[in-house]
Structure 1
Amino acid sequence: MTLLLIAFQCSYAQFKIPEKPSVETSVYDYGNMLDEAEHKFLEEKLINYADSTSTQIVIITVNNLAGDDISMVSTKFGQQWGVGQEGQDNGIVILLSDWDREVDISTGYGIEYILTDRLAERVINQEMIPEFKNGDFFQGLDNGTTAIIEVLAGSYKPKNTFDYKGLVKYIPIALVILFMVFLAYGSYKYGSGSGGSGSGRSYSSGGSYTSGGSFGGGGGFSCGFGGGGFGAGGGSGGW
């Protein structure tokens, strides 16, 4: 009986995706986290972007997630509402939960190879969460959407988070270790009387963020949601 009650409570608490809106636009502030001017600014910004590229970025805020995983809820919004254009799957959902203090970026199938999971998390951690920590949800969403647009255009440059100042204090230790290694190597080389050469493997990574293609016009929000498909692409974070 207890197990049945727990199962019932869990199913009852599950977040329910609202019905697809009759008016399909770019911002749905169910969580009342934006004032009227902020709502209008973001809405117009994303409508203009969608009308020029057909890529739909939709912001959704909610009060809470009823215990559900934010990435799953965000993907469900995109899939059930059909954000993006059919055949292009170029929709993006940004879901922000007030009570849970979490944000998620979910990408349609046609976007996830450009706005990769790693880049989505960088946008969240570097552009959005610092503002959310200060209670400025509008600025975080504005920064985040601008960064996403730059990623899709191939012009986004993530902030360098490497702590060079913190590295300085380790330089003396590193020099001592290198000196000891040098001495040990010299002792081995001349002590054994043999030498040799080896081959190593080097790795390099690129730091360029360019899009492999572009999405043309012909969609936008004037035609509503076109039925784009969503998978598990994107990233999430909390503060």
Structure 2
Amino acid sequence: MGLAQNSIPELWGQRVHDDAHILKQSTVDQLERSLKAQEDSTSNQIAILIIQSLNGEVLENYSMSVVEKWKLGEKSKDNGVLLLIAVDDHKMRIEVGHGLEGVLTDAMCNRIIRNEIAPAFRRNDYDAGVTDGISAIVRTIGGEYKAESASDNVPWTLIVIVAIIFFVGVLVASFVKEFRSDGNSIPSGKKFATKPGSKKKHLSDAVLLSGLFNTGGKSSSSGSGLSLGNFIGKGGSFGGGGSSGSW
């Protein structure tokens, strides 16, 4: 049964509110542990609300109403995040506090929804979608609520093009070295200038760029010291940052 229009649940000390009952209890428990560990280590407050239906309410309006009531994040840092999912409407939103908008950008939120959450939801695998989405959010934030990710300011296609250029450069440098080691001369008009140490630079640049594409495995945490029922918002504010999506 869906929530009535404009009805906002109480926090009740929990970070994960599955009012639509689509997640396994083991998934809820693991998410609670992971999000508690995230708050303990970074002070960032991330919460999840899954409702059955918006009952005709605009997703973004309802999401703002929730974060205004829950006040996720610390008052001095505004480092709260809400993942809102409306099952019957097939809609979702990542709402981002002021203090995290620099690193958890609108574009990155859209990417997380599009690449991590929506595909799993289309398979009706809500556990994987929510878990992967939260993992991507946590990895994107990286524990630096003030730091802006430089990669978010560069178009993704440009990063790919630069990476290809560097990798081609490495291959060309290797070819030239092998050609010279065989005692052959480089054809006239086809000179390649290779400064000392340039190959090492190309290789290091290639490794650096490869790291941009490697987001790592899913984050997980065990919490023998987990204490449920004591989660409260700490006065964080929101200004509409984030992104919405559907499946």
Q: TM-score normalised to the size of structure 1? A: 0.64
Taking the aligned partners of 1:46 and 1:53, their CA distance within structure 2 comes to 10
**Kept after mapping to 1: 8 A contact 2:118/2:129:** yes
Q: Which amino acid aligns with 1:232?
A: G
Residue 35 of structure 1 and its aligned partner are, at CA, apart by 1.8
Q: Quick one: structure 1 residues 139 and 156, their matched pair in 2 at CA, closer, same or farther if it must change by over 3 Å?
A: farther
Task: Say yes or no: does 1:103 pair with 2:111.
Answer: no
Q: Aligned partners of 2:15 and 2:141: how far apart in 1? A: 17
1:123 paired residue among 112, 116, 123: 112
Gaps of 5+ in 2: 143-148, 158-208, 214-227
CA contact 1:24–1:225 (8 Å) conserved in 2: no
Deviation at 1:60, TM superposition (A): 0.5
Contact 1:86 1:227 in 2 (8 A): yes
**Structure 1 position 50 matched with structure 2 position 58:** no
Amino acid at match of 1:14: Q
Deviations 1:205-234 (A, max 9, x none): xx979xxxxxxxxxxx96621011011100
Question: 2:15–2:231: 8 Å Cα contact kept in structure 1?
Answer: no
State the alpha-carbon separation in 2 of the partners of residues 32 and 132 from structure 1: 14
> What's 2:245 paired with?
237
Report whether the alignment pairs 1:15 with 2:6: yes
Aligned to 2:15: 26
Within the alignment, does 1:144 sit opposite 2:144 as a pair?
Answer: no
Measured in 1, the distance between the counterparts of 2:42 and 2:14 equals 15
Other-structure match for 1:224: 232
When normalised by structure 2's length, the TM-score is 0.62
Report the 3-state secondary structure (helix = DSSP H, G, I; strand = E; otherwise coil) of the residue aligned with 2:99.
coil
Question: SS in structure 1 opposite 2:30?
Answer: helix
After superposition, residues 206-225 of structure 1 pair within 5 angstroms as 224-225=232-233
Helix, strand or coil: the match of 1:28?
Answer: strand
How far off is 1:68 after superposition? 1.2
Contact 2:70 2:232 in 1 (8 A): no
Tell me how far apart the structure 1 counterparts of residues 24 and 139 of structure 2 sit (CA, whole Å): 26
Q: Is the 8 A contact 1:75 1:93 kept in 2?
A: no
Task: Look at both structures and tell me which one has the larger radius of gyration over its CA atoms.
Answer: 1
Matched-pair contact (CA < 8 Å) for 2:79–2:99: yes
SS in 2 for 1:147: helix
Instruction: Quote the offset at 1:24 in angstroms.
Output: 2.1
Contact 2:119 2:129 in 1 (8 A): yes
Confirm or deny: 8 A CA contact 1:147 1:156 kept in the other structure.
no
The answer to whether the 8 Å contact 1:150/1:156 transfers is no
Q: Is the 8 A contact 2:72 2:233 kept in 1?
A: yes
* Counterpart AA for 2:243: G
The Cα of 1:14 is off from its aligned counterpart by 3.2
Partner letter of residue 90 of structure 1? N
Unmatched 5+ residue regions in structure 1?
A: 1-12, 162-206, 210-220
The one-character-per-residue Cα deviations of 1:185-223 (angstroms, maximum 9, x if unpaired) are xxxxxxxxxxxxxxxxxxxxxx979xxxxxxxxxxx966
Q: Displacement, 1:156?
A: 8.9
How many residues end up aligned between the 2 structures? 169
